[in-house]
Structure 1
């Protein structure tokens, strides 16, 4: 990793294991937030931005599975590992179905966990760089998210940060559903009624910017989200 320490959310109700693991990861140059139950873990996740989550499953107030569902609603892509004494096949399958990147059964070797964490963060960093530098051809429009520029027939529109993020998410889900809740939580921070109205205004602005090409349409999927539909798109 570069000079900026990767932030890890560790949710573990076993005080000894939690402290040992936190210290071990911090010695290996990670910034670790340790919470003792699922509710506190969710509050920490909503409060701060993390690069990876390590979740125990059997925790008070909210178990690891329920916490993982909440986390996945906000960020479908954040690396997520379960650390669990539950070794039943059904539990492991359930963990992976919730979108876990790994399911590590206790007891485990911290060094192996460390290597897995480093590997997935390195992979994600490389993927992020590719996405960050990606440009989109949307019929007769060209979109450069890094410069926040939307170009059509030689005319360039500079997008606001929120317009840029919203169009980028629509492009990442091109011709597919961008869930309303996902966009609201990622760009606005929460899916409140007022943020929803704000997003509708931004969708209207993007429709206006893209109106000069009949092959492009932002479709409202009532109650679910939006689809950026581009005929013959080359994204």
Structure 2
């Protein structure tokens, strides 16, 4: 994978209480990744995870408040997908052996080999890009590409047939502005006798917005509508 361009679709949370190492990891990973979050303890790291939903968590095994393995276990209670890498000292090997059931991606022995870390993260980025099943539209709202459903806080937002068709269109090309005519043709492609009406599309989207979080569907004046993926 080329690394000349900053990776902006994969986010990483660094959880490390040792300030010097934490800052070094942040500065080093910012050479390759745009979205880096940091936490000084397990409690803050878990709160950041809930808020930012990072793709990858790079965590020290020993931290104040909540240690790395306890945080990983807490995450795994409801999330089997987020990739977790644990950093540890040689003396922590027994703890790591007991943590197999947590589904860790790997572990790194301190002092951290930056080249090895880079290789692991770039390989993981390739796998994530190939298998991403969700399009996040906000920190807690996502479109599941496999089931073609919309979710908020792990609760499905139920959509009617044409509302669902609209979201399929939006999520097929996020950031793209779809004109009212394009939306109309997508919704009524099997109804050849139905005449285009911009007003009907405006009314349809207005009704749909009532059941959705504010500003989820963006209106580009004079151009059309779109949704924006959330920069996690």
- TM-score normalized by the length of structure 1: 0.55
Is the Cα contact below 8 Å between 2:8 and 2:33 reproduced in 1? no
Distance 1:46 1:32 in 2: 15
Distance 1:166 1:120 in 2: 20
Q: 1:24 aligns with which of 8, 16, 28?
A: 28
1:79 to partner: Cα distance: 1.3
Rate the CA distance shift 1:125–1:35 in 2: closer, same or farther, 3 A. Answer: same
Aligned with 2:80: secondary structure? coil
Q: 1:9 aligns with which of 6, 13, 21?
A: 13
Is the Cα contact below 8 Å between 2:14 and 2:58 reproduced in 1? yes
Structure 1 equivalent of residue 153 of structure 2: 189
Q: Which has the higher contact order (CA 8 A, sep 6+)?
A: 2
Rate the CA distance shift 1:82–1:167 in 2: closer, same or farther, 3 A. Answer: closer
Q: Unpaired runs of 5+ in structure 1?
A: 133-160, 171-185, 206-235
Q: 1:68 aligns with which of 60, 67, 72?
A: 72
Displaced runs of 4 or more, over 4 A: 164-167
Written as runs of structure 1 = structure 2, the 5 A alignment for 1:36-55 is 36-55=40-59
Structure showing greater Rg: 2
1:42 to partner: Cα distance: 0.7
The count of aligned residue pairs is: 151
Distance 2:71 2:21 in 1: 19
Rate the CA distance shift 1:166–1:3 in 2: closer, same or farther, 3 A. Answer: closer
1:94 to partner: Cα distance: 2.3
Distance 2:25 2:118 in 1: 10
Rate the CA distance shift 1:3–1:81 in 2: closer, same or farther, 3 A. Answer: closer
Distance 1:53 1:47 in 2: 13
Rate the CA distance shift 1:88–1:117 in 2: closer, same or farther, 3 A. Answer: same
1:17 to partner: Cα distance: 0.4
Between structures 1 and 2, the one with greater helix share? 1
Q: Unpaired runs of 5+ in structure 2?
A: 135-140, 161-232
Q: 2:124 aligns with which of 111, 117, 120?
A: 120
Structure 2 equivalent of residue 107 of structure 1: 111
- TM-score normalized by the length of structure 2: 0.56
Once superposed, what is the RMSD of the aligned Cα atoms?
A: 3.2
Written as runs of structure 1 = structure 2, the 5 A alignment for 1:70-149 is 70-128=74-132
